[in-house]
Amino acid sequence: MDSKHHDHELKAADRPMRRGHIGLIVAGSLMTGFVVSIVLVIGPFGGGQEHVIMGTALLGWALGWGLLAVLSMRWTDQPQQWAVVPAALMALTGASLLIFRPDANAFNLLGWIWPPALIALAVWMTVQARGHLRSLTRPFMLYPLFVALVIAGVAGSYETIQEQVDRSTTAMPGHLIDVGGRSLYVHCSGSGTPTVVLVSGLAEASTYWGGWISPAVAQNTTTCVYDRAGQGWSDPPASPQDGVAVATDLHTLLDHAHIPAPYILVGHSTGGAYARIFAA
């Protein structure tokens, strides 16, 4: 009996380690996270409050990183335990946004925190992937993703700093328009029709468009940029706004500022969802 048990242990030890296709697991896991995030943001939570959009997107990406960690540990000989860290951080951050419902002031404060944190996470993940993953998905999928995260972090830091500098040192080039007990900032340049309205993305101010996009479009027609409630030079809202409230504010702003129709709305990121609601 002991001899048979010993032989069984030797055979088990001689078996090769499980070798699933790590490349398919990496690609499938991250694509799942990406698709889930897009579906949530465009579908049931499209045009929602900013903390809802960001929170659900982060939860979708957390799912992708979590799948990478679990499936690689279960089915391959290249376990990617490090993927648990981005999964946990993104899940915690996303859940916190949904639970605590930060207002515009809190988002402005987070603008100083998330960019360097994202850059640090991307650098750490690069080191971990280099040490633990032997697959073409590392140079062709993970590295480009990490570079994109670093670029997003650098851009976020630049935007936060630039907005602070603009508000403290630059004279307001546009006007504050009353929209019913609150003032929203708008600045129009150029002439002609239709009027192009540039709608900023999540937690972005109108200065996002000021480098070359707005001046370039203004060479051909009237072009307007504005700050949503709580962003840039605009007053904060009484409570967090969803897409309907943002679109209502914009309708009121254009009317009170006597900016003539027809309008072409150009949205960046979540600004695209707000533009669709405005046009509905």
Give the mean model confidence (pLDDT) for residues 67-88: 96
- Which of 3-17, 47-61, 139-153: highest mean pLDDT? 139-153
Asked if residue 268 lies in contact with residue 208, where contact means CB atoms within 8 angstroms, the answer is yes
| Residue 8 placed within a domain | no
User: What is the pLDDT, as a whole number, of residue 262?
Assistant: 95
- Which CATH number goes with the domain that contains 251? 3.40.50.1820
User: What is the pLDDT, as a whole number, of residue 10?
Assistant: 43
User: What is the pLDDT, as a whole number, of residue 20?
Assistant: 64
- Structural domain of 81: 15-165
- How many domains is the chain built from? 2
Q: Over pLDDT 90: what percentage of the chain?
A: 64
Name the pairing type of β-strands 195-199 and 263-267: parallel
Q: What does the mean pLDDT of the chain come to?
A: 88
Task: Give this prediction's pTM.
Answer: 0.79
The better pLDDT of the pair 141, 171 is held by: 141
| Residue 9 placed within a domain | no
**In a shared domain, residues 155 and 188:** no
**In a shared domain, residues 78 and 137:** yes
**Residue 11 scores a pLDDT above 80:** no
**In a shared domain, residues 140 and 210:** no
User: What is the pLDDT, as a whole number, of residue 19?
Assistant: 58
**Residue 178 scores a pLDDT above 70:** yes
Output the CA torsion 199→202→208→214 (10° steps): -10
**In a shared domain, residues 208 and 275:** yes
* Peptide bond just before 194 cis, omega within 30 deg: yes
**Residue 161 scores a pLDDT above 90:** no
Give the mean model confidence (pLDDT) for residues 80-101: 96
Cα separation of 126 and 132, whole Å? 10
